Protein backbone atom coordinates (compact mmCIF):
# COMPACT_ATOMS: atom_id res chain seq x y z
CA UNK A 1 0.00 0.00 0.00
CA UNK A 2 1.43 3.43 -0.87
CA UNK A 3 2.17 5.83 1.92
CA UNK A 4 0.15 8.94 2.63
CA UNK A 5 0.39 11.26 -0.35
CA UNK A 6 2.39 8.74 -2.42
CA UNK A 7 0.89 7.98 -5.81
CA UNK A 8 3.10 5.94 -8.11
CA UNK A 9 0.61 6.31 -10.95
CA UNK A 10 1.53 9.98 -11.30
CA UNK A 11 4.48 11.29 -13.25
CA UNK A 12 7.65 11.92 -11.28
CA UNK A 13 8.60 15.56 -11.75
CA UNK A 14 12.00 15.86 -13.36
CA UNK A 15 12.87 19.40 -14.41
CA UNK A 16 16.10 21.37 -14.20
CA UNK A 17 16.77 22.04 -10.51
CA UNK A 18 19.64 22.80 -8.13
CA UNK A 19 22.10 20.16 -6.97
CA UNK A 20 22.07 19.29 -3.26
CA UNK A 21 25.51 18.72 -1.72
CA UNK A 22 25.82 17.15 1.75
CA UNK A 23 29.27 17.61 3.28
CA UNK A 24 30.38 14.74 5.52
CA UNK A 25 26.89 13.72 6.71
CA UNK A 26 27.27 11.74 9.91
CA UNK A 27 24.16 9.50 9.84
CA UNK A 28 22.70 7.43 7.06
CA UNK A 29 19.23 8.22 8.38
CA UNK A 30 19.78 11.93 7.73
CA UNK A 31 20.86 11.26 4.16
CA UNK A 32 17.70 9.22 3.59
CA UNK A 33 15.47 11.87 5.16
CA UNK A 34 17.15 14.57 3.06
CA UNK A 35 16.57 12.50 -0.08
CA UNK A 36 12.92 12.17 0.86
CA UNK A 37 12.60 15.94 1.26
CA UNK A 38 14.30 16.43 -2.11
CA UNK A 39 11.82 14.07 -3.78
CA UNK A 40 8.94 15.95 -2.18
CA UNK A 41 9.97 19.15 -3.91
CA UNK A 42 11.27 17.97 -7.24
CA UNK A 43 15.02 17.83 -6.54
CA UNK A 44 16.80 14.70 -7.76
CA UNK A 45 20.55 15.38 -7.93
CA UNK A 46 22.31 14.47 -4.68
CA UNK A 47 26.06 14.69 -4.12
CA UNK A 48 27.75 13.31 -1.00
CA UNK A 49 31.15 14.41 0.30
CA UNK A 50 32.75 11.69 2.44
CA UNK A 51 29.69 10.32 4.32
CA UNK A 52 30.90 9.17 7.75
CA UNK A 53 29.08 5.80 7.76
CA UNK A 54 30.12 4.98 4.21
CA UNK A 55 28.07 4.50 1.08
CA UNK A 56 25.73 2.86 0.12
CA UNK A 57 23.88 2.85 3.43
CA UNK A 58 20.90 0.65 4.26
CA UNK A 59 19.64 3.03 6.95
CA UNK A 60 19.51 5.82 4.38
CA UNK A 61 17.39 3.64 2.07
CA UNK A 62 14.91 2.83 4.84
CA UNK A 63 14.63 6.47 5.91
CA UNK A 64 14.12 7.64 2.32
CA UNK A 65 10.68 5.98 2.44
CA UNK A 66 10.42 5.44 -1.30
CA UNK A 67 12.75 8.15 -2.59
CA UNK A 68 15.09 5.42 -3.82
CA UNK A 69 15.73 6.98 -7.20
CA UNK A 70 17.34 10.00 -5.50
CA UNK A 71 19.69 7.74 -3.55
CA UNK A 72 20.40 5.55 -6.58
CA UNK A 73 21.69 8.55 -8.52
CA UNK A 74 23.72 9.98 -5.62
CA UNK A 75 27.41 10.52 -6.41
CA UNK A 76 30.40 10.47 -4.05
CA UNK A 77 33.20 13.05 -3.81
CA UNK A 78 36.34 13.35 -1.74
CA UNK A 79 36.04 17.09 -1.18
CA UNK A 80 33.56 19.94 -1.50
CA UNK A 81 35.73 21.54 -4.15
CA UNK A 82 35.36 18.43 -6.29
CA UNK A 83 31.61 18.24 -5.66
CA UNK A 84 30.99 21.77 -6.93
CA UNK A 85 33.65 21.77 -9.60
CA UNK A 86 31.17 21.92 -12.49
CA UNK A 87 28.82 24.40 -10.78
CA UNK A 88 28.30 27.97 -11.91
CA UNK A 89 26.61 29.28 -8.77
CA UNK A 90 26.94 27.95 -5.21
CA UNK A 91 25.02 28.78 -2.05
CA UNK A 92 26.33 27.72 1.37
CA UNK A 93 23.72 27.14 4.07
CA UNK A 94 24.80 28.09 7.57
CA UNK A 95 23.36 29.40 10.81
CA UNK A 96 26.70 30.84 12.01
CA UNK A 97 28.37 34.11 11.09
CA UNK A 98 31.60 33.49 9.19
CA UNK A 99 32.63 37.15 8.84
CA UNK A 100 32.93 36.86 5.08
CA UNK A 101 32.10 39.59 2.62
CA UNK A 102 29.38 37.68 0.86
CA UNK A 103 25.73 38.48 0.24
CA UNK A 104 23.49 36.83 2.87
CA UNK A 105 19.82 36.00 2.27
CA UNK A 106 16.97 33.71 3.19
CA UNK A 107 15.59 30.70 1.37
CA UNK A 108 13.00 32.69 -0.57
CA UNK A 109 15.56 35.20 -1.86
CA UNK A 110 17.92 32.36 -2.76
CA UNK A 111 15.17 30.59 -4.71
CA UNK A 112 14.40 33.77 -6.62
CA UNK A 113 18.07 34.10 -7.60
CA UNK A 114 18.50 30.42 -8.48
CA UNK A 115 15.44 30.11 -10.72
CA UNK A 116 16.62 32.21 -13.70
CA UNK A 117 20.11 30.69 -13.51
CA UNK A 118 18.77 27.14 -13.59
CA UNK A 119 16.41 28.08 -16.40
CA UNK A 120 19.39 29.44 -18.36
CA UNK A 121 21.15 26.09 -18.06
CA UNK A 122 23.58 26.90 -15.24
CA UNK A 123 24.44 24.28 -12.62
CA UNK A 124 23.49 25.63 -9.21
CA UNK A 125 24.45 23.96 -5.93
CA UNK A 126 22.97 24.09 -2.45
CA UNK A 127 25.61 23.07 0.09
CA UNK A 128 24.69 21.74 3.54
CA UNK A 129 27.23 21.06 6.29
CA UNK A 130 27.72 18.46 8.98
CA UNK A 131 24.96 17.78 11.50
CA UNK A 132 27.22 18.65 14.42
CA UNK A 133 28.84 21.93 13.40
CA UNK A 134 27.89 22.69 9.80
CA UNK A 135 30.28 24.06 7.22
CA UNK A 136 33.80 25.16 8.04
CA UNK A 137 34.98 28.66 7.21
CA UNK A 138 37.04 27.65 4.17
CA UNK A 139 34.06 25.69 2.78
CA UNK A 140 31.81 28.72 3.05
CA UNK A 141 34.55 30.58 1.21
CA UNK A 142 33.89 28.42 -1.87
CA UNK A 143 30.32 29.70 -2.17
CA UNK A 144 28.93 32.74 -3.98
CA UNK A 145 26.16 33.40 -1.46
CA UNK A 146 25.33 32.53 2.14
CA UNK A 147 21.86 31.16 2.78
CA UNK A 148 20.55 31.34 6.30
CA UNK A 149 17.15 30.78 7.89
CA UNK A 150 15.36 32.89 10.52
CA UNK A 151 15.52 30.69 13.61
CA UNK A 152 15.71 31.03 17.37
CA UNK A 153 19.23 32.44 17.95
CA UNK A 154 19.49 30.47 21.19
CA UNK A 155 18.80 27.24 19.30
CA UNK A 156 19.71 27.75 15.66
CA UNK A 157 20.80 24.24 14.76
CA UNK A 158 18.35 22.59 12.37
CA UNK A 159 18.19 18.91 11.59
CA UNK A 160 19.89 18.34 8.24
CA UNK A 161 16.80 16.98 6.49
CA UNK A 162 14.65 19.78 7.89
CA UNK A 163 17.00 22.38 6.48
CA UNK A 164 16.95 20.66 3.08
CA UNK A 165 13.14 20.54 3.19
CA UNK A 166 12.76 24.27 3.91
CA UNK A 167 15.12 25.37 1.16
CA UNK A 168 13.70 22.85 -1.32
CA UNK A 169 10.18 24.03 -0.55
CA UNK A 170 11.06 27.64 -1.34
CA UNK A 171 12.72 26.52 -4.56
CA UNK A 172 9.66 24.53 -5.59
CA UNK A 173 7.35 27.48 -4.98
CA UNK A 174 9.59 29.83 -6.95
CA UNK A 175 9.99 27.39 -9.85
CA UNK A 176 6.21 27.03 -10.11
CA UNK A 177 6.60 23.44 -11.19
CA UNK A 178 3.51 21.99 -9.58
CA UNK A 179 0.48 22.95 -7.55
CA UNK A 180 -0.31 20.12 -5.08
CA UNK A 181 -4.07 20.47 -5.38
CA UNK A 182 -6.28 21.85 -8.09
CA UNK A 183 -9.73 22.79 -6.94
CA UNK A 184 -12.30 21.16 -9.17
CA UNK A 185 -15.66 22.90 -9.16
CA UNK A 186 -18.06 19.99 -9.62
CA UNK A 187 -21.02 22.31 -9.33
CA UNK A 188 -21.23 25.96 -10.40
CA UNK A 189 -22.06 28.69 -7.88
CA UNK A 190 -25.70 28.98 -6.93
CA UNK A 191 -27.56 31.87 -8.52
CA UNK A 192 -29.36 34.25 -6.18
CA UNK A 193 -32.68 33.03 -7.50
CA UNK A 194 -31.93 29.47 -6.38
CA UNK A 195 -30.68 30.67 -3.00
CA UNK A 196 -33.76 32.79 -2.42
CA UNK A 197 -36.08 29.94 -3.43
CA UNK A 198 -34.37 27.69 -0.88
CA UNK A 199 -34.55 30.37 1.80
CA UNK A 200 -38.26 30.90 1.13
CA UNK A 201 -38.93 27.21 1.81
CA UNK A 202 -36.72 27.30 4.89
CA UNK A 203 -38.50 30.38 6.21
CA UNK A 204 -41.90 28.76 5.65
CA UNK A 205 -40.91 25.66 7.62
CA UNK A 206 -39.46 27.77 10.43
CA UNK A 207 -42.72 29.71 10.61
CA UNK A 208 -44.62 26.44 11.01
CA UNK A 209 -42.61 25.53 14.10
CA UNK A 210 -42.79 29.10 15.50
CA UNK A 211 -39.04 29.64 15.27
CA UNK A 212 -39.24 33.39 14.85
CA UNK A 213 -39.97 34.45 18.41
CA UNK A 214 -40.49 37.00 19.77
CA UNK A 215 -42.38 38.51 16.86
CA UNK A 216 -40.63 41.88 17.07
CA UNK A 217 -37.29 40.21 16.36
CA UNK A 218 -38.52 38.27 13.36
CA UNK A 219 -37.05 40.58 10.72
CA UNK A 220 -33.65 40.68 12.42
CA UNK A 221 -33.56 36.90 12.81
CA UNK A 222 -34.55 36.44 9.18
CA UNK A 223 -31.77 38.73 7.93
CA UNK A 224 -29.20 37.00 10.15
CA UNK A 225 -30.20 33.60 8.79
CA UNK A 226 -30.04 34.84 5.20
CA UNK A 227 -26.56 36.24 5.78
CA UNK A 228 -25.34 32.85 6.99
CA UNK A 229 -26.10 31.34 3.60
CA UNK A 230 -24.84 34.39 1.72
CA UNK A 231 -21.44 34.08 3.43
CA UNK A 232 -21.22 30.43 2.48
CA UNK A 233 -21.14 31.23 -1.25
CA UNK A 234 -22.87 27.88 -1.87
CA UNK A 235 -22.80 25.95 -5.12
CA UNK A 236 -25.92 24.74 -6.88
CA UNK A 237 -25.34 21.27 -5.43
CA UNK A 238 -24.94 22.75 -1.93
CA UNK A 239 -28.36 24.38 -2.20
CA UNK A 240 -29.98 21.20 -3.53
CA UNK A 241 -28.50 19.25 -0.64
CA UNK A 242 -29.58 21.82 1.97
CA UNK A 243 -33.03 21.98 0.45
CA UNK A 244 -33.32 18.19 0.62
CA UNK A 245 -32.27 18.20 4.27
CA UNK A 246 -34.88 20.81 5.21
CA UNK A 247 -37.64 19.01 3.33
CA UNK A 248 -36.67 15.63 4.84
CA UNK A 249 -36.87 17.10 8.34
CA UNK A 250 -40.15 18.85 7.62
CA UNK A 251 -41.89 16.12 5.61
CA UNK A 252 -40.44 12.91 6.92
CA UNK A 253 -37.98 10.46 5.45
CA UNK A 254 -40.01 9.54 2.36
CA UNK A 255 -41.32 12.99 1.51
CA UNK A 256 -44.57 14.05 -0.16
CA UNK A 257 -44.39 11.34 -2.83
CA UNK A 258 -45.07 8.75 -0.11
CA UNK A 259 -47.71 10.60 1.82
CA UNK A 260 -46.24 13.93 2.78
CA UNK A 261 -47.10 15.80 5.94
CA UNK A 262 -50.60 16.81 6.88
CA UNK A 263 -51.43 19.58 9.25
CA UNK A 264 -53.67 18.70 12.23
CA UNK A 265 -56.83 19.75 10.37
CA UNK A 266 -56.00 17.63 7.35
CA UNK A 267 -55.15 14.66 9.58
CA UNK A 268 -58.61 14.92 11.17
CA UNK A 269 -60.31 15.11 7.77
CA UNK A 270 -58.50 11.98 6.63
CA UNK A 271 -59.70 10.08 9.67
CA UNK A 272 -63.24 11.36 9.17
CA UNK A 273 -63.15 10.03 5.61
CA UNK A 274 -62.04 6.63 6.82
CA UNK A 275 -64.57 6.63 9.65
CA UNK A 276 -67.49 7.50 7.33
CA UNK A 277 -66.65 5.06 4.55
CA UNK A 278 -65.18 2.24 6.58
CA UNK A 279 -63.68 -0.74 4.83
CA UNK A 280 -64.59 0.58 1.37
CA UNK A 281 -61.87 3.23 1.69
CA UNK A 282 -59.33 0.60 2.56
CA UNK A 283 -60.38 -1.77 -0.18
CA UNK A 284 -60.91 0.71 -3.02
CA UNK A 285 -58.87 3.87 -2.35
CA UNK A 286 -55.59 2.82 -0.75
CA UNK A 287 -53.56 -0.24 0.22
CA UNK A 288 -54.18 -0.93 3.88
CA UNK A 289 -50.53 -0.91 4.95
CA UNK A 290 -49.75 2.23 2.95
CA UNK A 291 -52.65 4.04 4.58
CA UNK A 292 -51.51 2.85 8.00
CA UNK A 293 -48.07 4.33 7.39
CA UNK A 294 -49.65 7.60 6.29
CA UNK A 295 -51.72 7.79 9.46
CA UNK A 296 -48.72 6.98 11.66
CA UNK A 297 -46.74 9.82 10.10
CA UNK A 298 -49.65 12.26 10.46
CA UNK A 299 -51.17 11.88 13.93
CA UNK A 300 -53.93 14.08 15.22
CA UNK A 301 -53.10 16.21 18.22
CA UNK A 302 -54.99 13.87 20.56
CA UNK A 303 -53.26 10.81 19.12
CA UNK A 304 -49.84 12.45 19.40
CA UNK A 305 -50.36 13.47 23.02
CA UNK A 306 -51.67 10.07 24.10
CA UNK A 307 -48.87 8.18 22.32
CA UNK A 308 -46.19 10.38 23.85
CA UNK A 309 -47.65 9.89 27.30
CA UNK A 310 -48.09 6.15 26.72
CA UNK A 311 -44.50 5.43 25.70
CA UNK A 312 -43.11 7.50 28.57
CA UNK A 313 -45.16 5.74 31.24
CA UNK A 314 -43.48 2.75 32.92
CA UNK A 315 -46.80 1.01 33.49
CA UNK A 316 -47.17 0.50 29.74
CA UNK A 317 -43.56 -0.35 29.01
CA UNK A 318 -43.21 -3.77 27.43
CA UNK A 319 -46.93 -4.03 26.71
CA UNK A 320 -46.26 -3.94 22.97
CA UNK A 321 -48.51 -1.04 22.02
CA UNK A 322 -48.39 0.11 18.39
CA UNK A 323 -50.07 2.92 16.45
CA UNK A 324 -52.27 2.72 13.38
CA UNK A 325 -52.11 -0.99 12.69
CA UNK A 326 -54.41 -2.79 10.22
CA UNK A 327 -56.35 -5.68 11.73
CA UNK A 328 -58.36 -7.42 9.05
CA UNK A 329 -60.35 -4.73 7.20
CA UNK A 330 -59.97 -2.20 10.01
CA UNK A 331 -57.33 0.29 11.10
CA UNK A 332 -57.07 0.67 14.87
CA UNK A 333 -55.58 3.66 16.67
CA UNK A 334 -53.57 1.76 19.31
CA UNK A 335 -53.19 -1.98 19.78
CA UNK A 336 -51.29 -4.35 22.05
CA UNK A 337 -51.31 -7.79 20.50
CA UNK A 338 -49.90 -9.46 23.63
CA UNK A 339 -52.80 -8.01 25.65
CA UNK A 340 -55.29 -8.20 22.76
CA UNK A 341 -56.26 -4.70 23.83
CA UNK A 342 -57.26 -1.86 21.48
CA UNK A 343 -57.51 1.83 22.39
CA UNK A 344 -60.14 3.43 20.18
CA UNK A 345 -59.89 7.23 19.92
CA UNK A 346 -63.27 8.92 19.59
CA UNK A 347 -63.23 12.44 18.06
CA UNK A 348 -65.20 15.33 19.56
CA UNK A 349 -67.58 15.43 16.62
CA UNK A 350 -68.65 12.41 14.62
CA UNK A 351 -71.32 11.83 11.98
CA UNK A 352 -74.08 9.26 12.47
CA UNK A 353 -72.59 7.10 9.71
CA UNK A 354 -69.18 7.19 11.36
CA UNK A 355 -70.71 6.24 14.71
CA UNK A 356 -72.49 3.30 13.11
CA UNK A 357 -69.33 2.07 11.43
CA UNK A 358 -67.43 2.44 14.69
CA UNK A 359 -69.96 0.18 16.41
CA UNK A 360 -69.56 -2.39 13.63
CA UNK A 361 -65.78 -2.23 13.95
CA UNK A 362 -65.88 -2.80 17.70
CA UNK A 363 -68.24 -5.73 17.27
CA UNK A 364 -65.96 -7.28 14.64
CA UNK A 365 -62.97 -6.93 16.96
CA UNK A 366 -64.87 -8.23 19.99
CA UNK A 367 -65.81 -11.36 18.03
CA UNK A 368 -62.10 -12.01 17.70
CA UNK A 369 -61.47 -11.59 21.43
CA UNK A 370 -60.05 -8.05 21.32
CA UNK A 371 -60.89 -5.80 24.25
CA UNK A 372 -61.73 -2.33 22.90
CA UNK A 373 -61.22 0.63 25.26
CA UNK A 374 -62.78 3.86 23.95
CA UNK A 375 -61.00 7.11 24.81
CA UNK A 376 -62.47 10.47 23.89
CA UNK A 377 -60.21 13.08 22.30
CA UNK A 378 -61.45 15.85 24.58
CA UNK A 379 -60.52 13.74 27.63
CA UNK A 380 -56.93 13.52 26.39
CA UNK A 381 -56.77 17.27 25.85
CA UNK A 382 -58.27 17.91 29.29
CA UNK A 383 -56.10 15.54 31.36
CA UNK A 384 -53.99 12.92 29.63
CA UNK A 385 -52.63 11.69 32.97
CA UNK A 386 -56.11 10.80 34.12
CA UNK A 387 -56.68 8.93 30.87
CA UNK A 388 -53.55 6.87 31.55
CA UNK A 389 -54.75 6.12 35.09
CA UNK A 390 -58.02 4.78 33.71
CA UNK A 391 -56.27 2.76 31.02
CA UNK A 392 -53.90 1.26 33.58
CA UNK A 393 -56.83 0.23 35.78
CA UNK A 394 -58.69 -1.35 32.84
CA UNK A 395 -55.64 -3.20 31.55
CA UNK A 396 -54.73 -4.36 35.06
CA UNK A 397 -58.24 -5.68 35.67
CA UNK A 398 -58.24 -7.40 32.29
CA UNK A 399 -54.98 -9.22 33.07
CA UNK A 400 -56.25 -10.36 36.49
CA UNK A 401 -59.38 -11.75 34.87
CA UNK A 402 -57.31 -13.86 32.47
- CATH number for the domain harbouring residue 103: 3.40.1280.10
Return the pLDDT at 284.
Answer: 45
Residue 29 has pLDDT above 80, yes or no: yes
Q: Mark whether 324 and 389 lie in a shared domain.
A: yes
Q: Mark whether 171 and 205 lie in a shared domain.
A: no
Residue 337 has pLDDT above 80, yes or no: yes
Q: Mark whether 279 and 152 lie in a shared domain.
A: no
Out of 175, 201, 218, pick the residue that ends a domain: 175
Return the pLDDT at 396.
Answer: 74
Return the pLDDT at 164.
Answer: 95
- pLDDT of 67-112, one tens digit each? 888 999 999 999 999 999 999 999 999 887 767 778 899 999 999 9
Would you say residue 186 lies in a domain?
no
Q: How far apart are CA 122 and CA 306, in angstroms?
A: 87
Residue 258 has pLDDT above 60, yes or no: no
Q: Mark whether 35 and 155 lie in a shared domain.
A: yes
Residue 8 has pLDDT above 80, yes or no: no
Q: Could you tell me which residue, 294 or 339, shows the higher pLDDT? A: 339
Q: How confident is the model at residue 402 (pLDDT cuts 50, 70, 90)?
A: low
Would you say residue 359 lies in a domain?
yes
Out of 140, 175, 210, pick the residue that ends a domain: 175
Would you say residue 1 lies in a domain?
no
Residue 367 has pLDDT above 70, yes or no: yes
Q: Mark whether 283 and 214 lie in a shared domain.
A: no
Would you say residue 187 lies in a domain?
no
Residue 238 has pLDDT above 80, yes or no: yes
Range of the domain at 308: 264-401
Would you say residue 380 lies in a domain?
yes
Span 307-324, average pLDDT: 84
Q: How confident is the model at residue 277 (pLDDT cuts 50, 70, 90)?
A: low
Q: Mark whether 323 and 397 lie in a shared domain.
A: yes
CATH code assigned at 272: 3.40.960.10
> Which of the residue ranges 123-137, 198-212, 382-396 has the most confident prediction, judged by mean pLDDT?
123-137
Q: Mark whether 23 and 166 lie in a shared domain.
A: yes
> Which of the residue ranges 269-273, 323-327, 372-376 has the most confident prediction, judged by mean pLDDT?
372-376
> Is the Cβ–Cβ distance between 113 and 145 less than 8 Å?
yes
Q: Mark whether 283 and 161 lie in a shared domain.
A: no
Out of 122, 146, 175, pick the residue that ends a domain: 175
> Which of the residue ranges 267-276, 300-309, 372-381 has the most confident prediction, judged by mean pLDDT?
372-381
- pLDDT of 182-197, one tens digit each? 556 578 888 888 888 8
Return the pLDDT at 256.
Answer: 43
Return the pLDDT at 98.
Answer: 66
Q: Specify the number of domains making up the chain.
A: 3
Q: Mark whether 273 and 220 lie in a shared domain.
A: no
Return the pLDDT at 290.
Answer: 63
Q: Mark whether 145 and 215 lie in a shared domain.
A: no
Would you say residue 181 lies in a domain?
no
Question: pTM to 2 decimals?
Answer: 0.50
Q: Mark whether 281 and 385 lie in a shared domain.
A: yes
Q: pLDDT exceeding 70 applies to what percent of the chain?
A: 84
Return the pLDDT at 363.
Answer: 92
Would you say residue 4 lies in a domain?
no
| 342: β partners | 335, 372
Would you say residue 36 lies in a domain?
yes
Span 3-18, average pLDDT: 66
Q: Mark whether 78 and 134 lie in a shared domain.
A: yes
Amino acid sequence: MPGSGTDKTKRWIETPAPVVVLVEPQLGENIGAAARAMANFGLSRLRLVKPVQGWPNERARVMAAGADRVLAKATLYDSLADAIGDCHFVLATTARQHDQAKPVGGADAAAAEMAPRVAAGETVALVFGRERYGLENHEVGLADRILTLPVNPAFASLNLAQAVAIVAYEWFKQAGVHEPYVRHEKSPPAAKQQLHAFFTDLERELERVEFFRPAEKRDTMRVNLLNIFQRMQPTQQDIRTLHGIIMAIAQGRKGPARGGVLDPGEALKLRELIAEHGTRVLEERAPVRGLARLLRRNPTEAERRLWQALVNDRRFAGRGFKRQVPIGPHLVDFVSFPLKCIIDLVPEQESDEAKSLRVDKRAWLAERDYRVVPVRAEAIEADVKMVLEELSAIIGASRQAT
